[in-house]
A = this chain, B = another copy of it.
């Protein structure tokens, strides 16, 4: 608790959303911030809670999901460092439609609604950035929807792998950012089906699975599976 003020200011200045916010507003925002250090598995908020601000992930990983039938859950999104969540509900008079849970020990900043509104009023550029951020979120939701509706399970998995592939290496590789259960839910599959699909792709020689590390010997061959099968 030595100099939390300084910490927060420099963190804020490095978040993409606030990258271009200048001095008077930045301090204002920093003053409206609160640190959170949720442990792995800890809930940040529950579905139905009211919102009076939004969250920025300094480091760690947060899962957004809603409870589904039989005590299960559907993962809507996995939020990583530098990203934010909860902006949308802040602008409405509605409670959170999802719950947020830390996947690993994390460091979050909570930005109070009031401080943000004040900063937005004196900086039109910030409002535009928030609009762009929400738009992006909306786009990716529509993309997910498209994916769920018109693609088979295998195609969704292949799409996910190609989207998350780390380029530049001789053999392209993907390091799954969370447990297979979580990824499966994100792809709207049961863990069993996800496992089977990875197995099939593996058998076909299109990928190689070692725990959470998946290597892709021939990216183009895998890509050819998107349209077909």
List A residues at the B interface (Cβ < 8 Å): 66, 68-69, 74, 76, 87-92, 94, 97-98, 117, 120-121, 124, 127-128, 130-132, 134-139, 141-146, 148-150, 188
Contacts of A144 in B (CB 8 A): 145
SS class, residues of chain A in contact with chain B: helix
Q: Inside 8 A of A127's CB, which chain B residues have their CB?
A: 120, 124, 127-128, 131
Residue pair B92, A132 in contact (C-beta under 8 Å): yes
Contacts of A137 in B (CB 8 A): 138
* Cα of A88 to Cα of B134 in the assembled complex, Å: 8
With contact pairs A120-B127, A124-B127 given, residues A66 and B138 touching in the complex (Cβ less than 8 Å)? no
Q: A74 to B69: give the CA distance in the assembly, Å.
A: 25
Chain B residue numbers with a CB within 8 Å of A94 are 139
Query: How many copies are assembled?
Result: 2
Closest beta carbon of chain B to A226's beta carbon, Å: 12
> Can you list 22 pairs linking A and B with CB atoms under 8 Å apart?
A66-B146, A69-B150, A74-B145, A76-B142, A87-B135, A88-B134, A88-B135, A90-B135, A91-B132, A91-B134, A92-B132, A92-B136, A92-B139, A97-B139, A97-B143, A117-B128, A124-B127, A127-B131, A131-B134, A138-B138, A145-B148, A149-B188
Which B residues lie within 8 Å of A117 (CB)?
Answer: 128
Q: In the complex, what's the smallest C-beta–C-beta distance from A67 to chain B, in angstroms?
A: 9
Task: Assess whether B138 is in contact with A88, with CB atoms less than 8 Å apart.
Answer: yes
Q: What are the 6 closest A-B residue pairs judged by CB atoms, nearest first?
A: A127-B127, A68-B150, A88-B135, A121-B124, A91-B135, A91-B132
CB closest residue in chain B, given A149: B74
Residue of chain B at shortest CB distance from A143:
B97
Q: In the complex the two chains form, is B97's CB within 8 Å of A142's CB?
A: yes
